[in-house]
Amino acid sequence: MSPVSNHLRVTLVQVNAGREIQANLGRLKQLLAGIGTTDVIALPEVFAMRGSTRDYHDSAEPLNGTLISFLASIAHRHNAWVLAGSIVEDDKPSVYNTSVLLNRRGEVAASYRKIHLFDSALDSGEVVRESDIWSAGSTPVSADLEGWHCGMAICYDLRFPELFRHYSAAGANLLFLPSNFTRRTGQDHWEILLRARAIENQCYVIAPDQCGTNPHTGIASHGHSMIVGPWGEVLAEIEEGEGTTTITLDRHHLETVRNRIPALTHRKL
């Protein structure tokens, strides 16, 4: 168990990933160069590469591969936890969309395979079929981050409140939701769903998102990475383009909200 921290400084990172992994990682290092002191660096879903099904499968690697080594170096350099929003995990014969949490020493503290896969025809005519790319995970994953109990999720999971209720019942006070949310759905649903998950579970929600456009599919991502507080307030947002923002989460604020309306203790089901 990590020592308990009453304050947690979180850096939200928004990227526009293309098909070239090394170019993407180079830009990421530049983005992080000026962030200063932080406790957590939170990256979006598929932050290292966006492309075709073949691109994803060709870049898949196990959790002890070169990408995790790169992230471990980031953790060491910044003395911070790193949420690798998601990487393409090779666990033959399956490929998973996997979120990985590394501690300050660069060690893998937790990994979560995306449970809910987005298969949908958007009203723009664009079609997304994640089940053609990934195998689905099956297990919720929680982690202890210096006394903050964290629930892990990815993107489309946001639409399934039972996953977050599971984390809430297990004592979560922080929810991670790295995403590559489409612009078409995001403009209507992103903020309202993030705020709903925060309000109903009285948790902080950390939601780094991709921006820009997938160079293979042409599907635009929403951006608007957010940190939402337990009262449902938007505490930080990166609207358009690549960037970072850092804020401090306060456990006392969390406790104040939960005491103000003790809904979690009033649950019947």
Residue positions annotated with a catalytic role: 45, 114, 155
State the alpha helices, DSSP H only, in 8-160: 21-32, 53-59, 66-78
> Based on C-alpha coordinates, what's the Rg of the chain?
17
Contacts of 171 (CB under 8 A, 6+ apart): 149
Compute CA 101 distance to the chain's CA centroid, rounded to the nearest angstrom.
10
- Enter the tokens of residue 212: 């820009």
141-145 sheet: strands from edge to edge = 141-145, 148-152, 174-176, 204-207, 225-228, 234-238
- Name the packing angle between helices 21-32 and 66-78 (round to 10°): 10
d(CA 26, CA 147): 32
Max intra-chain CA distance, the chain: 51
Of 195, 177, 193, 176, the C-alpha closest to 185 is 193
Of 250, 259, 243, 260, the C-alpha closest to 229 is 250
